[in-house]
Structure 1
Amino acid sequence: MRKNVLLLETIADEAFAFLQQHVNVFTGYDEASLNNVLNKEDIHAIITRGKGLINKPLIDAFPHLQVVARCGVGLDNVDVAAATVRKIMVINAPGSNAATIAEHTLSLMLMLMRNMYESVSQVKQNNWNWRNQYTGDELNGKTLGVLGMGNIGKRVARIAEAFGMEVLYWSKSVQDLPYKYLPMEDVLRYSDVVSLHLPFNNETGKIIGEEQLRLMKPGSLLINTARGALIDHPALLQALNSGGISGFAADVLPDEPPVESLGIVHHPRVIITPHTGSLTSATYRQICLLTINNVVAALTGRNPEPGSIFNRSALH
């Protein structure tokens, strides 16, 4: 018997077609369509991307649920604990976005360090003479501090090294890496650029606050392509206004889209992209196909790929 799958968000066309070949697909892209599924269908798997919320009430609505999955890496929008209590498999795509997020991180770093955004904007306004007042610097010879040495942090470090940067890092544990491990306070103190690559949890929420920003070198830059809630944004705005740090670039914010009261989006020394780091054609397709393949495997009695089951150890 074909299993029933609830899809909370759109996925890559190829992945959607593959899903339809193997299961019955129901969509809950909005409240009305989701309520229709809640009232009429028994669901065996729920799949989301970055916005659709797989919370406890949704999990509890389906007594025969076997799998919940996110086409992505972080599981902020999935109640892993509620799924695990029910012995429901939680599937994600670890490591699948490392290359593209690392590229995005370095892109933001370069744009900020070399003042590229303002330069391009001025030329588009026919102001070629902007070059006479241009100020910028280069990554070569600078020190990069990486907070969080997972798949993305490691790749960022390797690329930065190729740019001629010295790399320092802080992580939950010391790793066998060709980079110098220091306490977080010292990484902040000695780095020209600090890049965040930490997951969001109870320990890392607002891990960069007023105290940490005060430790950063005058003129240093802060980059965040991990999670917006890692930073105390009012404290960050104060540090930018006071000249404590020179610039900030991010692909993530605590509220997306940002609330107007955030203030930081329009700051002249800030560059924000709308959470597009993983939305390249290649990575979007790869993440969706990888996740869908593993969900179908789990529903049809085959083994998902090693590492794709986030809560494997808790299911036995």
Structure 2
Amino acid sequence: MRKNVLLLETVAEEALAILHENVNVFTGYDEASLKNVLNNENIHAIITRGKGLINKPLIDACPHLQAVARCGVGLDNVDVARATERKIKVINAPGSNAATIAEHTLALMLMGMRNMYESVSQVKQDNWNWRNQYAGDELNGKTLGVLGMGNIGKRVARLGEAFGMEVLYWSKSAQDLPYKYMALEDVLQYADVVSLHLPFNTETDRIIGEKQLGLMKTGALLINTARGALVDHAALLEALNSKSIAGFAADVLPDEPPVQSRAIVEHPRAIVTPHSGSLTTATYRQICLLTINNVVAVLTDKQPEPNSIYNRSALQ
């Protein structure tokens, strides 16, 4: 008997085709359609991307659930604890976005350090004479501080090194890497660019606050392509207004789309992209295919890739 899969968001066409070949597909893109599906179908797997919430009420509304999945890496929008209690497999795509997020991080560094956004804007306004007042610098010779040395952090470190930067890092523990491990406070004090690549949890919630921003150089840039809530945005706004740091560039915010964060988005020394770092054609396709193939494997009694089951050890 074909199993039933609930999609909370769209996925890449090739991934959707694989689903249709193997399972029955239902969509719950809005509250009304979601309620209709839950009232009429037994759901065996739920798939989301970044917005659709797989929370406790939704999990408990599906007594036949075998898997919940996110086409992505982080699982902030999935109640992993409740799924694990129910012996439900939690599937994601670890490592699949490392290359694209690292590239996006370097792009933000370059834009911030070279004041590129303002330069492009001025030229579009027919102000070629902006070059006479241009102020910017280069990454070569600067110190890069990487906070979090997972797949993305390591790749950012290598790219920074290729640009001629000295790399310092802090993470939960020191690793066997060709970069200098330092205390968090020391990385903040010495780095010209601080780049965040930490997971979000109770320990990292607003890990960059007033005290930490105060340790940074006045000419330093803060880059965040990890999770918006890693940074205390009230303290960040004050740091930007007082010019205690030079600038901020991010692909993530605590609230998306931004409402409370509008002051940061509109700040003249901030550059914010719309959480689009993983939305390149290649990575979007790869993330969706990896996730969907592993969901189908679970539902058809085949072997999924071991690393794709986030709570594998807890279920054994």
Work out whether the TM-score is over 0.5. Answer: yes
- In structure 2, what is the equivalent of residue 63 of structure 1? 63
Is contact 2:146-2:153 (8 Å) kept? yes
- Using the TM superposition, give the Cα deviation of residue 243 of structure 1 relative to its aligned residue in structure 2, in angstroms: 1.2
Cα RMSD (Å):
0.6
SS at match of 2:306: coil
Q: How big is each residue's C-alpha offset from its partner over 1:257-311, in whole Å with a ceiling of 9 and x where there is no partner?
A: 0005641111110000000000000000000000000000011111111211000
- In structure 2, what is the equivalent of residue 48 of structure 1? 48
Q: What is the CA–CA distance in structure 1 between the aligned matches of 2:145 and 2:260, rounded to whole Å?
A: 30
- Using the TM superposition, give the Cα deviation of residue 32 of structure 1 relative to its aligned residue in structure 2, in angstroms: 1.0
Q: What is the CA–CA distance in structure 2 between the aligned matches of 1:69 and 1:261, rounded to whole Å?
A: 29
Q: What is the CA–CA distance in structure 2 between the aligned matches of 1:32 and 1:306, rounded to whole Å?
A: 35
Distance 1:111 1:177, change over 3 A: same
Is contact 2:44-2:65 (8 Å) kept? yes
Q: What is the CA–CA distance in structure 1 between the aligned matches of 2:219 and 2:253, rounded to whole Å?
A: 22
- In structure 1, what is the equivalent of residue 87 of structure 2? 87
- In structure 1, what is the equivalent of residue 127 of structure 2? 127
- Tell me the amino acid that sits aligned with residue 63 of structure 2: P
State the identity as a percent: 83
- Greater Cα shift, 8-17 or 300-309: 300-309
SS at match of 1:223: strand
- Tell me the amino acid that sits aligned with residue 62 of structure 2: F
1:289 equivalent to 2:296? Answer: no
- Using the TM superposition, give the Cα deviation of residue 7 of structure 1 relative to its aligned residue in structure 2, in angstroms: 0.5
Is contact 1:233-1:262 (8 Å) kept? no
Q: Aligned pair count?
A: 316
- In structure 2, what is the equivalent of residue 3 of structure 1? 3
Q: Which aligned runs of 4 or more in structure 1 are off by greater than 3 angstroms?
A: none
Q: Which runs of 5+ in 1 are unaligned?
A: none
- Tell me the amino acid that sits aligned with residue 61 of structure 1: A
Q: What is the CA–CA distance in structure 2 between the aligned matches of 1:147 and 1:262, rounded to whole Å?
A: 25
| Aligned residue runs from structure 1 range 99-178, under 5 A | 99-178=99-178
1:25 equivalent to 2:29? Answer: no
Q: What is the CA–CA distance in structure 2 between the aligned matches of 1:35 and 1:241, rounded to whole Å?
A: 46
- Greater Cα shift, 104-113 or 299-308: 299-308
- In structure 2, what is the equivalent of residue 199 of structure 1? 199
Q: Which runs of 5+ in 2 are unaligned?
A: none
- Using the TM superposition, give the Cα deviation of residue 241 of structure 1 relative to its aligned residue in structure 2, in angstroms: 1.0
- Tell me the amino acid that sits aligned with residue 55 of structure 2: N
- Using the TM superposition, give the Cα deviation of residue 143 of structure 1 relative to its aligned residue in structure 2, in angstroms: 0.1
Q: How big is each residue's C-alpha offset from its partner over 1:138-179, in whole Å with a ceiling of 9 and x where there is no partner?
A: 000000000000000000000000000000000001100000
Give me the TM-score of the superposition, normalised by structure 1: 0.99
- Using the TM superposition, give the Cα deviation of residue 218 of structure 1 relative to its aligned residue in structure 2, in angstroms: 1.3
- Tell me the amino acid that sits aligned with residue 222 of structure 2: L
Q: How big is each residue's C-alpha offset from its partner over 1:117-143, in whole Å with a ceiling of 9 and x where there is no partner?
A: 000000000000000000000000000
Q: What is the CA–CA distance in structure 1 between the aligned matches of 2:261 and 2:205, rounded to whole Å?
A: 20
Distance 1:223 1:261, change over 3 A: closer
Q: What is the CA–CA distance in structure 2 between the aligned matches of 1:62 and 1:15, rounded to whole Å?
A: 23
- Tell me the amino acid that sits aligned with residue 138 of structure 1: E
- In structure 2, what is the equivalent of residue 73 of structure 1? 73
Q: What is the CA–CA distance in structure 2 between the aligned matches of 1:243 and 1:46, rounded to whole Å?
A: 46
Q: What is the CA–CA distance in structure 2 between the aligned matches of 1:227 and 1:303, rounded to whole Å?
A: 32
- In structure 1, what is the equivalent of residue 218 of structure 2? 218
SS at match of 1:169: strand
- In structure 2, what is the equivalent of residue 278 of structure 1? 278
Give me the TM-score of the superposition, normalised by structure 2: 0.99
Q: What is the CA–CA distance in structure 2 between the aligned matches of 1:290 and 1:308, rounded to whole Å?
A: 8
Is contact 1:252-1:274 (8 Å) kept? yes
| Aligned residue runs from structure 1 range 248-287, under 5 A | 248-260=248-260, 262-287=262-287
SS at match of 2:47: strand
